[in-house]
Amino acid sequence: MSGQSVTFHCWQDCFEQMSKTNRESLEALSDDDVFAMVRNNDERAFEEIYRRYDRRIFAYCLTVLKDREAAEDAYQTTMMTAYKSRDSYRGGNFAAWIFTIARNFCLKAKRSSAHTTPVDELAESIPNTADKTGDDFLLREAFDQAVLNLPDEFRLPIEYKYLSGFSYDEIAEMMNISLSLVKVRIFRAKKLLRKTLQPYMQETT
């Protein structure tokens, strides 16, 4: 083997080792720390953010939109918007920030579509409404609007739970609140939805 070839392989091995070390060092950092590097135009940091959130955000978009192509568009738009808007994030709760971006694009996609997709998973959490939500367009519309009108502290955990399928523990981590508070907020959100939907439920009985 020539000296030039040996040198090349040595540099290649060093580069691969450096890449591995960089990946491991990024993995040890919090989302906020990694995204701070993204704000400094570090492409490796953005790749790490992408790796952490790509599956979860796509799953969220697919669950909301019920269409793989539309979900892919919303997912890619979310990631690119997060990058372009990186200077607007000031820290605190990165997961909630990026999922809010995803939610906004999904809602925009739903509004622009010819039909409204019922939130079946969430509807099933409200007693005696699941079947009617599937059959009654007015109730379905009222239900979707009721979810949107919830205060963020109640809307976000219930969307994460029933639209994205996150566990209580994951929601607690994303929202930076305790597990017990997550459960309390979801319980109160259901209570608010029942109260809001009661007139519509009575009309359809």
* Predicted local confidence at residue 124, as pLDDT: 45
Do 199 and 145 sit in the same domain of this protein? yes
Do 147 and 185 sit in the same domain of this protein? yes
| Predicted confidence (pLDDT) at residue 89 exceeds the cutoff of 80 | yes
d(CA 57, CA 74): 9
> How many other CB atoms are found less than 10 A from the CB of residue 40?
9
Where in the sequence is the domain holding 53, given as residue range(s)? 1-92
Do 83 and 128 sit in the same domain of this protein? no
Model confidence at 130, pLDDT cuts 50, 70, 90, reads: very low
Do 77 and 126 sit in the same domain of this protein? no
Do 87 and 125 sit in the same domain of this protein? no
* Inter-residue contact 106 to 64 (CB < 8 Å): yes
Task: Give the contacts of 80 (CB within 8 A, at least 6 positions apart).
Answer: none
* Predicted local confidence at residue 155, as pLDDT: 86
d(CA 184, CA 172): 11
Q: What is the CATH number of the domain that holds 1?
A: 1.10.1740
* Residue 155 belongs to some domain of the structure: yes
Share of the chain above pLDDT 70, in %: 71
Task: Give the contacts of 63 (CB within 8 A, at least 6 positions apart).
Answer: 121, 163, 164, 165
The domain boundary, picked from 92, 110, 133, lies at 92
The total of structural domains in the chain comes to 2
Q: What is the CATH number of the domain that holds 152?
A: 1.10.10.10
| Predicted confidence (pLDDT) at residue 18 exceeds the cutoff of 70 | no
Tokens encoding 137: 């367009």
Do 71 and 151 sit in the same domain of this protein? no
Reported as a single tens digit per residue, the pLDDT across 135-185 is 456 666 777 778 888 888 888 888 888 777 788 888 888 888 888 889 998
Do 127 and 73 sit in the same domain of this protein? no
Do 131 and 189 sit in the same domain of this protein? yes
Task: Give the contacts of 155 (CB within 8 A, at least 6 positions apart).
Answer: 147, 148, 189
* Inter-residue contact 163 to 59 (CB < 8 Å): no
Q: What secondary structure letter does DSSP report for 92?
A: S
* Residue 104 belongs to some domain of the structure: no
Reported as a single tens digit per residue, the pLDDT across 4-13 is 554 444 444 4
* Residue 81 belongs to some domain of the structure: yes
Do 88 and 141 sit in the same domain of this protein? no
The three-state (H, E, C) secondary structure of 100-167, written as one string: HHHHHHHHHHHHHCCCCCCCHHHHCCCCCCHHHHHHCHHHHHHHHHHHHCCCHHHHHHHHHHHCCCCC
Model confidence at 98, pLDDT cuts 50, 70, 90, reads: very high
* Residue 185 belongs to some domain of the structure: yes
Do 127 and 197 sit in the same domain of this protein? yes
* Residue 163 belongs to some domain of the structure: yes
* Residue 174 belongs to some domain of the structure: yes
